[in-house]
Amino acid sequence: MLRRIHVKLELRAAPEHRETAERVHGFYAESCPLYRSLKAAIGITT
């Protein structure tokens, strides 16, 4: 039985976009349909 998933994200961006990338990473999961479907049944971490 699958109980948990750990997702590793790698984003390459210019240094001047670091702040934006970190901000987007903070809310990306809630915008992902797959995450929203599974989050109640499976622990998902990044």
pLDDT of residue 2: 85
How many structural domains does the chain have? Answer: 1
Spatial separation of the C-alpha atoms in residues 38 and 4, rounded to whole Å: 10
Spatial separation of the C-alpha atoms in residues 10 and 35, rounded to whole Å: 17
Q: What is the pLDDT of residues 1-31, one digit of tens each?
A: 889 999 888 888 899 999 998 888 888 888 8
pLDDT tier at 33, thresholds 50, 70, 90: very high
For residue 44, what are the CA distances in angstroms to 2, 5, 41? 11, 5, 9
Q: Coil, helix or strand for 18?
A: helix
Q: Which domain holds residue 25?
A: 4-45
pLDDT of residue 43: 86
pLDDT of residue 19: 93
pLDDT of residue 20: 93
pLDDT at 46 over 80: no
